[in-house]
Amino acid sequence: MSSPLIEHFTRNGLLDRVYIDGEWVLPAGQDHAQVVDPSTEQPVAQVALGNAQDVDRAVAAARRAFSTWSASTPKDRAALLDRLHALVLERAELFAQVISLEMGAAIATARAAQVPVAAEHLRVARDLVTEYPFVTHRGDTAIVREPIGVCALITPWNWPLYQITAKVGPALAAGCTVVLKPSELAPLSALLFAQVVHDAGVPAGVFNLVNGGGGEVGAAMSAHPDVDMVSITGSTRAGVLVAQAAAPTVKRVAQELGGKSPNLILPDADLQGAVRAGVLSGFRNVGQSCSAPTRMLVPRERLAEVERIALETVATVVVGDPRDPQTTHGPVANRAQFNRVQEMIEAGIAEGARLVCGGTGRPAGLERGFYVRPTVFSGVQPRMRIAQEEIFGPVLSIIAYDSVDEAVAIANDTVYGLGAHVQGEDLAAARAVALRIRSGQVHINNPAWSPYVPFGGYKRSGNGREYGVEGLQEYLETKSILGWQGA
């Protein structure tokens, strides 16, 4: 299945190039990264990596383009975003196949979630830029919102296209120019997106892509004196390194980092629906979502019932070949992540948590590939590693509580604060609990996802917001012009 996909990249000369100043050019860097199919553990492609010299070239191109692009009209920027949106949808199947290959997403998930929600960020950016009040008035003062400048965008491997469009869409809508560094572990969808940018007619220098590792390319982007802002989605450790590198040049840093999201099931909740939805939400994208609700907080007197429903729900999960349309969960994305998940399952067992299902090793019948057994622990204590550390795999911790006040305290007992869930029949009570949870987003009774709702973290989950109007505003500076309307 992978051969025709890789032929597409080879035929179009994308694997050995970076995209700078409107052209596919050979990088100055000599290093390469292997792209590994996580379902087979076999390399399927080799991608050229840039270096600090390539970052200099890309930033210079973005700086030259900024003066013109920042002066373009919102209508013109909306028209370009509309073309980007249409081309992503036109090539949706190609994107889905590539994402499944590079990071192991089940093809059904790639088609239904990875690609469509990525396209939504472009659509929303297009709509917002035509409506946003870039100039408002306060007395005789004009309050002007202007593009911040050249933006370095650093994106991860777990939702590779989705995280790119969540940053590129609003940045271009705001009038900024960008340099993108996707994850070197899942770079193929980013190369496809760069080709979409090129085909859509984005002016030279407005969008640039340099593949590379965080230690060189990411660090060079973060420290660069001509970069005005860095936006990173990644681990908390990576976010700290970016902030440290950016500090000497006092640039804005927006960070969407790790999470350990609670799912607080109130005593009056519809237990069957709440637990089933909670398990599936925690395991979405094979647990490789920073906001996945991987701590399920339940009334102690209903613990046995919760365990039964969780076990029944996991039995509906189909782990297997990501190219099979019947598969619901493919492998985790890479060897390092596979090893991390195994380590954390071992830690849960060692600390005395009770296995409801799953455990270490691969599921039966899967002898190769980075496949993980969907795992549910119960009897988890709030200070156990599996209740405190981000695992980034299909591992759920069930924690019992004796009162709602205790449940809220457990929910907040983490260095993270990205997402949370509250489930209960009494909406007023659920709202009251949601207001007490220290996180950037709280879901009451599993509402539908919206690309208009701001997303971001408290505490070590980061700062700044993505999506919707708040995501657009991250790429804007505020200027006050006094005396605009005269004395």
- For the annotated catalytic residues, the residue numbers are 256, 290
Closest CA to 54 of 62, 64, 66: 62
Beta bridge mates, 333: none
DSSP 273-293: HHHHHHHHHHTGGGG--TT--
Strands (E), 170-216: 177-181, 207-209
Helix (H) or strand (E) holding 355: strand 354-357
Residue type for 369, please? G
Closest CA to 39 of 345, 324, 230: 324
Contact 122, 85 (CB under 8 A): yes
Pairing relationship of beta strands 177-181 and 150-154 according to DSSP bridges: parallel
d(CA 99, CA 109) in angstroms, rounded, equals 10
d(CA 480, CA 450) in angstroms, rounded, equals 32
Strands (E), 95-237: 135-138, 141-147, 150-154, 177-181, 207-209, 229-233
Three-state DSSP class for 480?
A: strand
Look-up of token digits 């998940």: 341
> What does the block give as tokens for 395?
């591992």
Please measure the distance between the N-terminal and C-terminal CA atoms of the chain and give it in whole angstroms.
70
> What does the block give as tokens for 66?
């900024």
d(CA 278, CA 143) in angstroms, rounded, equals 44
Closest CA to 255 of 474, 461, 468: 461
Contact 160, 211 (CB under 8 A): no
Look-up of token digits 């929910």: 411
Pairing relationship of beta strands 42-48 and 32-37 according to DSSP bridges: antiparallel
The Cβ of residue 184 has, within 10 Å, a number of other Cβ atoms equal to 21
